[in-house]
Structure 1
Amino acid sequence: MTKTDLTLSGAPSRRAVLGALGAGAAVLAAPRLARAQEGTLVVSNWGGDWNERTIRFVEAPLVESRGIKIVRDLGMEPERKAKLIAEKRLKRGTIDVIHINEGDSVELNAQDVLSDIDFSKVPNYADVVPALKSKPFFVPWLYSGVTIIYNKDKVPNPPKSYEELWDKKWAGKIGLTNQLYFNYIMMAGLIKGGNVTNTEQGKERLIQLKELTQPRIYAAHQQLGAGLVNGEVDIAVNYKARGLQWANDGAPLAIQYPTEGAIAVMFGAALPKRAPSPDLANIYFNAMLDRKAMAGLAGASFYAPANSKAELSDELRAKVDFTAAQAAALKFPDYAHVAKNTAEWLEWWNKNIAR
């Protein structure tokens, strides 16, 4: 962490067009975007390797190189969201760009703390996969899906679907993480012909899964990955990108795309309503979506890039992205439904599944 870092204390359907290319050719940056800039930009982001990759591929080469000073305000999303909401009463806020997932963007927009973005000032947005352009207040960046990750040395015939996890033969072999509790509720609601808002039945089915398989519950992604690597569990339900990261570190893992269609997850950024430097924020958003930067991020993180023209090799694209059929089958959560229920779901999860 540098001296400038701060750490917090406290039409066609979306899925049907996901595999399509971004419309039109790349838009040339306007002259004022091309000139050297001055000023300070406060970026709220996660820490760790996520922030390190952001600096390496986006901030250092494409933003700071232009003379813009970045102050990094790092922390987990609950604290960073709370800070943004607390600044609602201020005439001028302290954050220019906040890194969040799509669901958090919906929640924060409902709290009236995000601005719609003028995407005409973000030229690279023209190349974003059309199906990801669903919200005027959110810049799509990287995405993946909740898949079945398994030890191929121990599980020669893995579950082909979410529904096949509901089987006593997997007793003691499945690992879940508290971080994805609402994804698991949606996953359970999705089986047997359901959908991602079929969450009351989803909760009932998760209790059945617990009775059948006694899954091991981990606090976070990292602990789940360690459990998969050291043999505590043989199957994990987590983001495809996470499975690829763990496999890249040498674990004998493979990915199974569920036949129901994977529940999608997308990360990106937003513009707070009281951002001190909105013009610099637009430069930052454009840098996030740079073709070369997106290729570097995909290679380092194994998330699929939102920019359809990211300069990925054919091999890397085949690894991190989805086939046309898989992309069309992705299940995007109804985040208005999630925002309305997530507090109750978390309490239910902690009482009935996590303990």
Structure 2
Amino acid sequence: MKRDDRFQLSRRAFVAGSGAAMAAATLPGRASALSGDLVVSNWGGSWNDYMYDSFERSAFADNGVDLVKDLAPVSERKTRLLAERRLPRSSVDVTWLSDSDAFEMNDQNVLEEIDYSQLSNADTIIPQLQSPYYVPAIYGGVVVLYNPNTVSTPPTSFADLWNPEYKGRVGLYDQIYFNYIYAAALVAGGDMSNVEPAFDKLMEMKEEIQPRLYPSHDALAAGFENGEIDISANYSARAQLWNANGLPIEMAYPDEGAIAIAFGVGVPKKASNREAAYAYLDAMLSPDGMANIARKTYYSVATTDASLSQEEKEKLEFTDAQKEKLHFVDYDYAAENDNAWLDWWNKEFKG
């Protein structure tokens, strides 16, 4: 196997009702049929390393497949996938996407319908996460994050971000602006299909709370670490990751309910190595593969049989009551409005 970075560029509510190295061999005749390059399109950096260490390395070590990486920001990768619809073949075989990105790519006729009969562990996928156009791997939610050393009363709601006590000490991660629009909508009486109340609420935050904006997750973490901020809203997995790395950050599940996020893998309609692509999906969904991904990313996994201990499950997964309150994106609504939301965020909230 080779790790070839030759393609590297600058770059919905619910209750959840053999090792990765063996996953590619679970379907009759699959292992012997595999060969050639398998081009995996993914985010770079630690996320790519997590997937490689979790299941890619063991699953494709000695089965005739050369693992090739296409690493770039999702915006660049989506642009290329759209451009390649006119070509006889796609330059990638599997692509990592968020749930919203996958919806967008499917809406643009990029992704093939998943043949779940080819996946030996498909029946363990949580039904409410299953999609016809991509295979979910992990999920979490946007929650409230805070420093327990500086916040005396633990927050309980997204509305705590508007608490005058935190004036100048609220941190927001610029790239997930849409999640702050959703959170503000929930606080102000809207919902995931009506965010109109959010805009006045966010302008109130801008004027009265004066939040600090950060360009990356790492920069937000640094804001907590150096004492610039006390509270934020971000993905649940980030709270667990930063806490594990020694940053005193705690997670508070908001009374309004968390905003769900999921990530998974799609197969372009013109993938060159479809057999290897399905072997990749099979390896990812294996009990050990899923457990390793959860341990690396601190997200909950989309299957029910991951080989996690009970202690690990309790740490990584939402409770049933929390799952009941998860808010899932209205994809059609978001797709219709996201450009306008981004324009408003840049011109009005940031301006």
Compute the TM-score of the two structures, normalised by the length of structure 2: 0.94
The equivalences for 1:209-248 within 5 A come to 209-248=205-244
Is 1:276 the counterpart of 2:277 in the alignment? no
Note the residue ranges of structure 2 that are not aligned, 5 or more in a row. 18-22
Deviating beyond 3 angstroms after TM superposition, the runs of 4 or more aligned structure 1 residues are: 1-5
- Residue matched to 1:50: 47
Q: 1:58 to 1:36 in 2, by over 3 A?
A: farther
- Residue matched to 1:149: 145
Moved more, 60-69 or 267-276: 60-69
- Residue matched to 1:191: 187
CA–CA distance in 2 between the matches of 1:99 and 1:251?
A: 28
Q: CA deviation at 1:29?
A: 3.1
Secondary structure, counterpart of 2:61 in structure 1: helix
Secondary structure, counterpart of 2:155 in structure 1: coil
Query: Which residue of 91, 96, 103 maps to 2:93?
Result: 96
Q: CA deviation at 1:64?
A: 3.5
- Residue matched to 1:306: 302
Deviations 1:104-135 (A, max 9, x none): 011111111111110110122211111111x2
The answer (yes or no) to whether the contact 2:30–2:275 under 8 Å persists in 1 is no
- Counterpart AA for 1:329: K
Q: CA deviation at 1:182?
A: 0.6
Q: CA deviation at 1:37?
A: 2.3
Q: CA deviation at 1:344?
A: 1.3
- Counterpart AA for 1:186: Y
- Residue matched to 2:320: 324
- Counterpart AA for 1:55: Y
The answer (yes or no) to whether the contact 1:141–1:305 under 8 Å persists in 2 is yes
Q: CA deviation at 1:62?
A: 1.2
- Counterpart AA for 2:304: S
CA–CA distance in 2 between the matches of 1:247 and 1:327?
A: 22
Secondary structure, counterpart of 2:66 in structure 1: strand
Aligned residues: 344
Secondary structure, counterpart of 2:60 in structure 1: helix
Query: Which residue of 95, 103, 107 maps to 2:104?
Result: 107
Q: CA deviation at 1:161?
A: 0.7
Secondary structure, counterpart of 2:62 in structure 1: helix
Q: CA deviation at 1:158?
A: 2.5
Deviations 1:175-215 (A, max 9, x none): 00111101111111112443112212112211111122111
- Residue matched to 2:9: 8
Q: CA deviation at 1:80?
A: 0.4
Moved more, 161-170 or 304-313: 161-170
Is 1:160 the counterpart of 2:161 in the alignment? no
- Residue matched to 1:175: 171
- Residue matched to 1:251: 247
- Counterpart AA for 1:141: A
- Counterpart AA for 1:170: Y
Note the residue ranges of structure 1 that are not aligned, 5 or more in a row. 21-25
CA–CA distance in 2 between the matches of 1:271 and 1:7?
A: 19
Is 1:83 the counterpart of 2:75 in the alignment? no
Deviations 1:289-336 (A, max 9, x none): 111111112112101111111111122111111001001111011122
Compute the TM-score of the two structures, normalised by the length of structure 1: 0.93
- Counterpart AA for 1:256: A
CA–CA distance in 2 between the matches of 1:352 and 1:4?
A: 39
CA–CA distance in 2 between the matches of 1:254 and 1:92?
A: 46
Q: 1:350 to 1:319 in 2, by over 3 A?
A: same
The answer (yes or no) to whether the contact 1:8–1:74 under 8 Å persists in 2 is yes
- Residue matched to 2:20: none
CA–CA distance in 1 between the matches of 2:315 and 2:275?
A: 36
Q: CA deviation at 1:5?
A: 4.2
Q: Percent identity?
A: 41
Q: 1:344 to 1:64 in 2, by over 3 A?
A: farther
- Counterpart AA for 1:184: Y
CA–CA distance in 2 between the matches of 1:195 and 1:306?
A: 25
Q: CA deviation at 1:70?
A: 1.1
The answer (yes or no) to whether the contact 1:63–1:287 under 8 Å persists in 2 is no
Query: Which residue of 115, 118, 121 maps to 2:115?
Result: 118
